[in-house]
Amino acid sequence: MFINNKEAVNRMNAVPGDEELPLAEHLKEMRSRMIIVAIPVIIITLIAFIFSGSLLQLVWNYSVPVPMTIYSPTELIVTKLTISLVCALFFGIPLIVYETFMFVGKGLYKHEKSFFIKVVPFSFILFSMGAALAYFVVVPLVFKYTVFYSIDIAAPQVSLMKTISTMITLVLGFGIVFQFPLLLIFAIKMDLLKREYLRGKRIIIYSALIAFAFFISPGPEALSGLIVAVVLVVLFEFSLLIARFF
């Protein structure tokens, strides 16, 4: 009798339409979905590698005011592979998210699926905005001032691989920073923070965000720190506005 009652409780708590499958079946499904994701990523990487030389030249001419310099025979090839893989992963993100949702979606309730569908595109848009801001504004600014800041002391020569790695780090970093609204929305929805409280503490929060922005900003100039500070303040206000719709 006890077992029947326990099974009844489990059925009541189960997600409608969800079926219990052996672990081997889950692993098999996960492997097939990973293959579905891996094949397009590999194909896009190979296609991007064909045009990686032109793409690398375009990125370099836009952001770095000095000629390319390599310090090892394989540096150019590794850099071209890196930038090709980054392109493939960026364009493959929608497929990765879709396959992940199809894998875990069977175990989600209706409201959880609805929340996932709202949040994921919003997160991707925010990440793209942050990455675009970093590439088109922050990266050229940082390299322009850091290179010419030392031009009176030493002849500027920058490593191709290290420069591209710095660009990728900045782009990814700004993309992650732009996830700040989602973190704030989560905190509000979980009642860890209140919108009214945050609105009443704007001056303190603005001061903290500005201090944090100048602390993490690269480069000797204050302009990049000011950009990050303005971005964080705008994202904070945007978070308060958008939180009511989630």
Query: Is residue 88 within 8 Å of residue 55, measured between CB atoms?
Result: no
- What is the pLDDT at residue 18? 52
More confident residue, 20 or 231: 231
Most confident of 29-38, 50-59, 142-151, 171-180: 50-59
Q: What is the pLDDT of residue 48?
A: 92
Please check the confidence at residue 159 and state whether its pLDDT lies above 80. yes
210-223 confidence digits (pLDDT tens): 887 777 665 555 66
Q: Which residues of 18-32 are buried (b: 16+ CB within 10 A; e: fewer)?
A: eeeeeeeeeeeeeee
Question: Which sign does the torsion angle of CA 224, 55, 43, 129 carry?
Answer: positive
Q: Alpha-carbon distance 154 to 146, whole Å?
A: 12
Paired strand residues for 69: 159
In terms of pLDDT, which residue wins out, 243 or 175?
175
* pLDDT-above-90 percentage for the chain: 12
Q: How far apart are CA 181 and CA 54, in angstroms?
A: 36
Residue range 35-55: mean pLDDT, rounded? 91
Does pLDDT of 195 surpass 80?
no
Asked if the model's pLDDT at residue 77 lies above 90, the reply is yes
183, burial (CB in 10 Å: exposed 0-12, middle 13-18, buried 19+): exposed
pLDDT of 16 over the 60 cut? no
pLDDT for 44 equals 92
Overall pTM > 0.75: no
Sign of CA dihedral 47, 48, 54, 58: positive
